[in-house]
Amino acid sequence: MNRGLKLSFAFLLLISSAPAFALELFGVALESASRDELRAATAQAGLLLVREGGEDNWYDVYDSSSALAGSTRFYLGFVKKNQRFAFAEYEFRGFSHKQLLRQLTLKYGKAEVEGGRFVSDHRYRWQRDGIQIELNSDWQRYRTRLTYLIPQNMSDLLAERAAYNSRQQAQAAQVSLY
């Protein structure tokens, strides 16, 4: 079986198992998912942990190549204060995402398209069950990204990270020898 068909088959299995009433990832409803529940489901799905989020990291990093053909990494982020799901993102090498776009369109319907300077700069977005789904190209890193996020939770995560960075800078300034 060629690589594209493997990716297609694996992705269809991944997205076709979700019931119509809730958007799921690895059998867990994202809108109400907790950190521990999603971490367990991710391990059960065969993704290999590379780095777990901690005090200064707001997301886990997984090697997803054995779980989803064509993908290299999977990122899973949570709001620290209450352990709510903020985002999940698959990373694929290169920019060939036509098959992935077809599969997402079959699953979620026609995408909202945000144009770019070139056709390959387009962002494709869907909204389902409070979850924003986006497929786009990351030109600087030669990657395609498929992201699931809850906008409010992502805002909370970014605010937590900004507050942490501010505290770190203030502490560094206090420790200055001059």
- Residue 1 has what pLDDT? 45
Average pLDDT over residues 157-161: 94
Distance between first and last Cα of the chain = 64
Lowest mean pLDDT among 7-11, 49-53, 156-160: 7-11
Residue 22: count other Cβ atoms within 10 Å of its Cβ: 15
Pairwise CA distance, residues 78 & 84, whole Å:
5
Beta-carbon-side half-sphere exposure of residue 8 (alpha carbons within 13 Å): 13
Report which of residues 44 and 6 the model is more confident about: 44
User: How confident is residue 120, by pLDDT bands cut at 50, 70 and 90?
Assistant: low
Pairwise CA distance, residues 63 & 71, whole Å:
8
User: How confident is residue 178, by pLDDT bands cut at 50, 70 and 90?
Assistant: low
Q: Quick one: DSSP state of residue 26?
A: T
Of 55, 51, 52, the closest CA to residue 80 belongs to 55
Reported pTM: 0.81
pLDDT tens digits, 38-96: 999 999 999 999 999 988 888 999 999 988 878 999 999 999 999 999 999 999 988 77
Contacts of 26 by beta carbon, 8 Å cutoff, 6+ apart: 38, 41, 42, 44, 45
Adjacency order of strands within the sheet including 48-51: 48-51, 59-63, 71-78, 85-93, 143-149, 131-138, 123-128, 112-114
User: 12 pLDDT exceeds 80?
Assistant: no
pLDDT > 70: what percent of the chain?
83
